[in-house]
């Protein structure tokens, strides 16, 4: 079935440092979505990327979709403790469901 890889698995940063997580697929994607899950919480939608080479920003978060539409990245500038959580990229699987990447767990040390 559809699969997506995500790296790194874990990332520990000092507050104020930057953070990036990468998502890679072996197939061309129609779109990709990013979700954030706080510890003990449920996934919350962050953004969807559709166009080749697309870059979207949300305050300190920058999302990018690769030119070949096979990879994507999420970059956080100057992390804060509120950024703690697991970041998942998701792609459309067969049918209507979402396939979740393994996630990147971010820890921010104050």
Partner 1 sequence: GAVVSQHPSWVICKSGTSVKIECRSLDFQATTMFWYRQFPKQSLMLMATSNEGSKATYEQGVEKDKFLINHASLTLSTLTVTSAHPEDSSFYICSARLYGTAMNTEAFFGQGTRLTVV
The residue ranges that bind partner 1 (CB under 8 A) are 30-31, 33, 41-45, 48, 50, 88, 90, 92-93, 95-103, 105
Minimal distance in Å, beta carbon 15 to partner 1?
23
Output DSSP code: residue 95. T
**Shortest distance (Å) from residue 16 CB to partner 1:** 26
Closest distance to partner 1 from the beta carbon of 67 (Å): 19
């Amino acid at each position: 079935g559809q699969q997506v890889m995500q790296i790194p698995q874990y990332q520990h940063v000092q507050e104020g440092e930057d953070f990036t997580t990468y998502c890679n697929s072996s197939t061309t994607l129609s779109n990709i979505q990013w979700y954030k899950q706080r510890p003990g919480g449920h996934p919350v939608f962050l953004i969807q990327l559709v166009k080749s080479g697309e870059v979207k920003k949300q305050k300190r978060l920058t999302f990018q979709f690769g030119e070949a539409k096979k990879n994507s990245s999420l970059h956080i500038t100057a992390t804060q403790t509120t950024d703690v959580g697991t970041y998942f990229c998701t792609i459309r699987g067969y049918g209507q469901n979402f396939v979740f990447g393994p996630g990147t767990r971010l820890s921010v040390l104050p």
